[in-house]
Chain A
Amino acid sequence: MVLGSDAPSSGGTIIGFVSTAERARPPVRVTTDRAVCGATVPDEGLIVDSNGRVANAVVTVVGVQARAPAEVLVSNERCRFVPHVAWIRPGGVVKVTNKDPGTVLHTTHAVTLDGKDLFNVALPIQNMVLTQSSGTRSGPLKLTCETHTWMRGWLFVSNELSAVTGADGTFRLEHVPAGAREVRVWHEELRSPTQKVVVEEGGTVSVTFTLRR
């Protein structure tokens, strides 16, 4: 692996955005605890704005190691996981908390994509904070809740240089070592092929991804 952002004065920058022609889906109907969760919640499986820009996609520079966030706080708020997607390093600290009232029981259940359960903790008390580990394996970790089955969150566990797109679909990857690089995108529902770029020292190169089924 090549070291990335540990050397702040070197490398180049990769910027861009992630978009899709797919349309956002209608809100999900809430089936329980409506007093707290509301009647509906947005379908966060695909968050796309009017320009087709996709939020919560994770763009990664393949083979470039970076100092991934060591700790992430995942909050259960109004029956949604906040943030919906977070980048964290393997063996990182995952703090989970419940911001909803104690009459609403949330559980935060982390499962790998191949079905291995990492943890499932109950959060019956408002504002209690529990500490778990993101596990040793790289890859996306799915978060679910046993009592609110529409809830979905993701922890992108990786040591590679990554960025999560915001609401406007853009991303910025800095201190990428110069040379030919592969850039990959992950989204919980859609796909796009890996792209190749050439990064120049001190330069900026742009990449866009168009996600499809």
Chain B
Amino acid sequence: MSKTRHRYGAGCLEALGRRGFGSPQRFRADRVVRRPVRLLGHAALAAAIGASGAAPLAQEAAPRTIPEMWTAWCARCHGADGRGRVAEPTLTVQPRDFTDCRRATTEPDADWALATAKGGPAVGLSAQMPAFGAALTAAQIDGFVAHMRRFCTEPDWPDGNLNLPRPIFTEKAFPEDELVVTPMTTHGGGERHWTGVLTLEKRIGKRAQLEVTQPLESVVVDGRRSRGFGDLELGFKYVLNPRRHNHLAAAGIDVRTPTGSSSEGLGAGEARVEPYLATASAFGLTYVQSQVKLELPRNRPWADRVAVYRVSLGRDLSLTPRAWTVGLELTGENDALALVPQVRKGISPSGALAGAFGVSLPVNHSDEQGRTWVAYVLWEYLEPVFWRRR
């Protein structure tokens, strides 16, 4: 049986891959269209409210630069050092520690800008964080975000603005701490085949990620249905250019182990080594992600090689962690192409729980590829799913 053409059974997962969408919406802060925030200058402010202007002395004492504003307005809850710990806390929740690079750098600037402007609930966090949007200009909010970024002093953490929404198949370049469940079903050869994939991704250090993937299959081979575990896969990914802020590239290698029974059609029957390159680019709310991979089976690596190439185009429809993202992937294996239109949405208010749904439509070799309906649910397990409110 041709290993490459199967979109079901042993070929299903390996043919289509199981990469999925990642964290909530990610985009360059400087390209973001924000809600209008206005700072009336002191004179204009006094004029706007009418007669009872402020005493000049009070206005002169008001903070003017971002660091002064941080000290006067933010430090009392977030701390002068951004750690979120103060001597006499007035809050009942603990603000995020901005010096914790691991947690801070995964988030895009736009999430921090949104929380500053509209308050905690806008990003699924506590309402004890108030909205400052009416008191600050967009430039000042950007200034605050830049100020908060400086609390993480370690270099080489990849930029969270490139932590793009996870496509269904294309591998993300950004390393993740998340659990993904990907069910899919393919109709091919007159039969329906099912696969459920569990993927666990864990970041190691600043730039690396380990991954374990285990599929569960229900396939029909030669008229007989078999159910069971497919091939276990181990993966490693490493970000190549962590200091870039507009394009990210990662190199990785997956090793597929022949743990699934090949006689029952659940596994490929031999180990496979799969090196790949993945990229991520953000243009405002539009994202382009890509992956090129070479699948080399153990027995005849070059003769039976499979070239896999994927491009994903995605666009966020709004600015919140629960935004809808629409996407289109082009996936290819050797000469078999498929298009995968898809939608993705943050489920929980913080976006730590998200889901996607799409369908893989063959462009050519339709009989061999079949049409596949696929979805995923992902959980960023380091983030709170629901924030307890006061």
B72 near A103: Cβ-Cβ < 8 Å = yes
Instruction: Give the secondary structure class of A's interface.
Output: loop
Q: In the assembly, what is the distance between CA of A31 and CA of B89, in Å? A: 11
Q: Is the CB of B389 within 8 A of A103?
A: no
B130 touches A109 (CB 8 A): yes
**Interface flag for A136 (CB, 8 Å):** no
A120 with B135, Cβ < 8 A, contacts A105-B72, A146-B77 known: no
Q: Which of B58-66, B102-110, B276-284, B360-368 contacts the other chain?
A: B58-66
Looking at the assembled complex, report how far the CB atom of A104 sits from the nearest CB atom of chain B, in whole angstroms: 9
Within 8 A of B (CB), among A138-184: 146-149
In this complex, the interface size class of chain B, counting residues with CB under 8 Å from chain A, is 20 to 34
Number of residues from A at the complex interface, CB < 8 A: 28
Return chain A residues, CB-CB under 8 Å to B90: 32, 146-149
Q: Which residues of A contact B52 (CB under 8 A)?
A: 127
Q: How far apart are the CA atoms of A80 and B120 in the complex, in Å?
A: 24
> What is the chain A residue whose CB lies nearest that of B62?
A102
CB distance from A14 to the nearest CB of B (A): 36
Say yes or no for B332: interface residue by CB 8 A criterion. no
Contact of B119 among A115, A120, A127, A129 (CB under 8 A): A120
In the complex, what residues of B have CB within 8 A of residue A124's CB? 69, 72-73, 132, 135
Q: Between A and B, how many residue pairs show CB distances below 8 Å?
A: 89
Write the nearest CB–CB distance from B293 to chain A, whole angstroms: 47
- Kindly provide the distance from the CB of B388 to the nearest chain A CB, expressed in whole angstroms: 11
Contact A126 B127 (CB under 8 A): no
Give chain A residues whose Cβ lies under 8 Å from the Cβ of B61. Answer: 101-103
Q: Quick check: B73 and A127 within 8 Å, CB to CB?
A: no
Contacts of A149 in B (CB 8 A): 90
Chain B 105-122 near chain A by CB (<8 Å), digits 1 or 0:
000000000000001110
Say if the beta carbon of A107 comes within 8 Å of chain B. Answer: yes
Asked whether A7 is an interface residue with its Cβ less than 8 Å from the other chain, the reply is no
- Are the CB atoms of A109 and B127 closer together than 8 Å? yes
In the complex, per-residue mask of A91-103: 1 if CB is within 8 Å of any chain B CB, else 0:
0000001000111
- 0/1 interface trace, chain B 203-221, chain A, CB 8 Å (1 if under): 0000000000000000000
Taken residue by residue from 50 to 85, chain B's Cβ proximity to chain A (1 for < 8 Å, 0 otherwise) reads as 001110001101110000010011001100000000
Query: A130 on the interface (CB 8 Å rule)?
Result: yes
Residue from the list B49, B72, B76, B131 in contact with A97, Cβ < 8 A: B49
A128 at interface, CB cutoff 8 A: yes
A123: interface (CB < 8 Å): yes
Measured CB to CB, the closest approach of chain A to B58, in angstroms, equals 4
In angstroms, Cα B28 to Cα A34, docked, is 42
- Residues of chain B within 8 A of A107, CB atoms compared: 130
CA distance A109 to B77 in the complex (A): 15
Distance (whole angstroms) from the CB of B240 to the closest CB of chain A: 41
> Would B91 and A103 count as touching, CB distance under 8 A?
no
8 new A-B contacts at CB < 8 Å, known A117-B389, A119-B119, A120-B119: A102-B54, A105-B73, A111-B390, A115-B389, A119-B131, A120-B120, A127-B52, A130-B134
Using a CB–CB cutoff of 8 Å, the interface residues on chain B facing chain A are: 40, 45-46, 48-49, 52-54, 58-59, 61-63, 69, 72-73, 76-77, 88, 90-91, 119-121, 127-132, 134-135, 389-390
**Can you list 25 A-B pairs, Cβ within 8 angstroms, ordered by A?**
A31-B88, A97-B49, A101-B61, A102-B54, A102-B61, A105-B72, A109-B130, A115-B389, A119-B131, A120-B129, A120-B130, A121-B119, A121-B131, A124-B72, A124-B135, A126-B54, A126-B58, A126-B59, A127-B46, A127-B54, A128-B40, A128-B45, A130-B134, A146-B128, A147-B77
